[in-house]
Amino acid sequence: MKKITILVLLSMEILLSASCNKNGNGKYNEGPDSIDTTGSVFVPSDPPVAASIGFFLSPWSGKTLKVSSFTEAAPPATTKYTVTVDASSIVTKISPALFGNNSNPYMSQMVNQPQLITHLTNLHPGIIRFPGGNISSVYFWNRQPGNAPADAPAQVVNADGNKVDPGYWYGGNTADWTLSVDNYYSMLQQTGNEGIITVNYGYARYGTAADPVAAAAHLAADWVRYDNGRTKYWEIGNESNGTWQTGYRIDVSQNKDGQSEFVSGDLYGRHYKVFADSMRKAAAEKGKTIYIGAQLLEVEPASWATETDKKWNSGVLQQVGGVTDFYIVHSYFTPYNTNSNPQEILASAATVTKTISSHLSSSFSASGATAKPVALTEWNIFAVGSQQMVSQVAGMHAVMVWGELIRNKFGMASRWDLANSWENGNDHGLFSQGESASGEARWAPRPAFYYQYFFRKFLGDRSINATVSDSNANINAYASTFNSGEVGLTLVNRASITQNVTVAFKNFNPGARYYWYVLTGGEGVTGFSRKVFVNGSGPTGIAGGPENYTALNPYGASTSNGIKVSLPPMSVVNVAIEEK
């Protein structure tokens, strides 16, 4: 056994290690429900890996956290609430694949952008998806610009039945404004991340070959061969059920294998099996193992939804329930194109994540399908009109989503996206593209970057429970342990007033000192701010965060009078407590 101690997110260097730490007093309590009152600490066993996480946990390794230096600060004298961290049982090992992001083919070649590469290396999202989004359905990875396959039609049919230019994209395009396949791979290598690739399913629908499904599956299999084991995770299609997706509706007069005009879950599922068979054979030829995902809908379709949506999950599951490796969902959490307020956005983190988990479980049960790992390969917010997407509230929301994904045992997630377009602040990009209207320099990180950086830097490797004494306090708490003994706790104050808390423990003995980081939005107490301040250090311009984020020290104080933490209005506070 090893000792478990408690840590609450701090700015210290995290060193990964698989080594265990001995209990200093050599004593252990006898059961997982033990509450530490005698100085001994019980180390609970790891639970079985949840089916919803599965192989995404394979790269897991234990973490060691060290405190380097700190700035002495005074904790609050009094508190109103208590947050109890319970280290007596482990909820789950934390999947290292939960913190990914999406690249896209309109954000530069990346490898010739040193500032962006530095930020991505520092952030280390782990997973970066490509080519991502609707472009996947018109993307020919091995073609040069203007050189589409002969069986890719010059026009396709949109959801309204009108013939339109498909706007094909090409992986061989080396223009400065786009991202080629080879530079995507190079970017991953330079930043120490890995990929998930979305292959072109739409081509199986609109292609004019005698067997368009075989042609599209062959294109995907050739990518697997070219990839040669660099990528473990693959998706077949992107939101293929959607009316906005190329291939949702086809010109049946041009189709040669008798496909229906509109896509269905059953049809997609039958096509999935053709793709997966070709891609797995290609991987086997190279002596590699890959995992291939199938698309599901994350919520119950509304009464006004298309027939495609209403029958999607049942159709897909009846076809692929026994053969797919994992399931893919997307969610943008808040109502589409709605001017949502801060509290509506933050509340969605818990409610929507739970809804997704419950809906998938219901879909599996209704179809008699076996549960498989779940990947949320696109997520963000759809709130518009008040620059919500580029605000500190988006960063707070992101922290809460990760906490809820861990709690609900998701296997993988990748946020949308690294860079997009300003659109008056309706911009999902984690980094600015440098448009003059934004007032930001190119590749300047948005607030969500800083919230993710500090959350990742101090998150442990196992999730444990944390509870707030008053459920109406507007405080969220997420806790984790480190393999070296510490525990991480993230505290989110959703209220517009300062709230002070005492941190109490079960099955943990605090050491001599504790440390903390405070992330606030400056003027964004009741609304949205484009700035984030970390321990009082903020941006020099109108947006973003501290330029010296990698060098910021945490605050520190003695535990002699207990562990007390002040949570400013609309803040995320990351605290670390030494082990005894």
- Same domain for 60 and 90, yes or no, is yes
CA–CA distances in Å: residue 102 to residues 161, 186, 211, 230, 298: 31, 16, 32, 17, 19
331 has a pLDDT exceeding 60: yes
d(CA 419, CA 107): 6
Question: Domain range holding 117?
Answer: 96-324
As given in the structure block, the two tokens for residue 162 are: 């009108």
Give the pLDDT of residue 457.
83
Is 340 among the domain residues?
Answer: no
- Same domain for 86 and 174, yes or no, is no
Give the pLDDT of residue 39.
64
Task: Give the β-pairing of 564-567 and 499-506.
Answer: antiparallel
- Judge whether 528 and 342 are in contact, CB under 8 Å: yes
d(CA 402, CA 20): 26
pLDDT digits (tens, 9 = 90+) for 334-367: 999 999 999 999 999 999 999 999 999 999 999 9
Nearest to 179 by CA among 238, 129, 115, 131: 131
> Residue 24's pLDDT band (boundaries 50, 70, 90)?
very low
What is the C-alpha R_g of the chain? 24
Low-confidence winner among 186-190, 448-452, 507-511, 537-541 (lowest mean pLDDT): 507-511
Give the pLDDT of residue 13.
36
- Judge whether 94 and 47 are in contact, CB under 8 Å: no
- The CATH code of the domain that includes 525 is 2.60.40.1180
Burial of residue 510, with CB atoms counted within 10 A of its CB: 0-12 exposed, 13-18 middle, 19 or more buried: buried
pLDDT digits (tens, 9 = 90+) for 90-123: 999 999 999 999 999 999 999 999 999 999 999 9
CA–CA distances in Å: residue 358 to residues 300, 371, 490, 529, 531: 10, 12, 25, 33, 35
Is 430 among the domain residues?
Answer: no
Is 392 among the domain residues?
Answer: no
Q: Which of 324, 354, 372 is the last residue of a domain?
A: 324
Give the pLDDT of residue 127.
98
As given in the structure block, the two tokens for residue 504 are: 């109490």
> Residue 453's pLDDT band (boundaries 50, 70, 90)?
very high
- Same domain for 128 and 263, yes or no, is yes
32 has a pLDDT exceeding 70: no
Residues ≥6 apart with Cβ < 8 Å to 253: none
- Same domain for 136 and 264, yes or no, is yes
- Judge whether 575 and 10 are in contact, CB under 8 Å: yes
d(CA 45, CA 91): 10
Is 538 among the domain residues?
Answer: yes
Give the pLDDT of residue 524.
84
pLDDT digits (tens, 9 = 90+) for 508-550: 999 998 989 999 998 889 999 999 999 999 999 999 999 999 9
Give the pLDDT of residue 484.
87
Nearest to 241 by CA among 137, 167, 152: 137
- Same domain for 207 and 89, yes or no, is no
- Same domain for 76 and 115, yes or no, is no
- Same domain for 163 and 38, yes or no, is no
Can the peptide bond before residue 417 be classed as cis, meaning omega within 30 degrees of 0? yes
- Judge whether 560 and 511 are in contact, CB under 8 Å: no
d(CA 481, CA 488): 6
pLDDT digits (tens, 9 = 90+) for 496-507: 999 999 999 999
Q: Which of 305, 324, 343 is the last residue of a domain?
A: 324
- Same domain for 64 and 109, yes or no, is no
pLDDT average, residue stretch 226-252 = 98
d(CA 69, CA 487): 18
pLDDT digits (tens, 9 = 90+) for 196-223: 999 999 999 999 999 999 999 999 999 9
- Give the whole-number percent of the chain exceeding pLDDT 70: 93
CA–CA distances in Å: residue 66 to residues 451, 509, 576: 20, 17, 10
Is 162 among the domain residues?
Answer: yes
Of residues 461 and 41, the one with the higher pLDDT is 461
Q: How many residues does the chain have?
A: 580
CA torsion through residues 267, 269, 273, 276, sign = positive
As given in the structure block, the two tokens for residue 561 are: 């009078």
Residues ≥6 apart with Cβ < 8 Å to 534: 11, 450, 454, 517, 518, 519, 545, 546, 549, 552
pLDDT average, residue stretch 361-378 = 97
Is 343 among the domain residues?
Answer: no
- Judge whether 8 and 574 are in contact, CB under 8 Å: yes
- Same domain for 68 and 184, yes or no, is no
As given in the structure block, the two tokens for residue 22 are: 């001995």
Q: What is the mean pLDDT of the chain?
A: 92
Nearest to 131 by CA among 110, 147, 155, 116: 110
- Same domain for 30 and 106, yes or no, is no
Q: Which of 260, 293, 324 is the last residue of a domain?
A: 324
Is 208 among the domain residues?
Answer: yes
Per the structure, how many domains does the chain have? 2
Residues ≥6 apart with Cβ < 8 Å to 302: none
23 has a pLDDT exceeding 70: no
> Residue 145's pLDDT band (boundaries 50, 70, 90)?
very high
CA–CA distances in Å: residue 305 to residues 91, 243, 378, 468, 562: 36, 10, 21, 39, 54
Under DSSP, the state recorded for 299 is S
Question: Vertex 489, ends 470 and 326: CA angle to 5°?
Answer: 105
Beta strands in 217-351 (DSSP E): 233-236, 291-295, 326-331
Nearest to 298 by CA among 240, 355, 365, 381: 355
> Residue 577's pLDDT band (boundaries 50, 70, 90)?
confident
Give the pLDDT of residue 19.
34
- Same domain for 307 and 189, yes or no, is yes
Is 204 among the domain residues?
Answer: yes
pLDDT average, residue stretch 277-301 = 98
Q: How far apart are the first and last CA of the chain?
A: 16
- Same domain for 290 and 174, yes or no, is yes
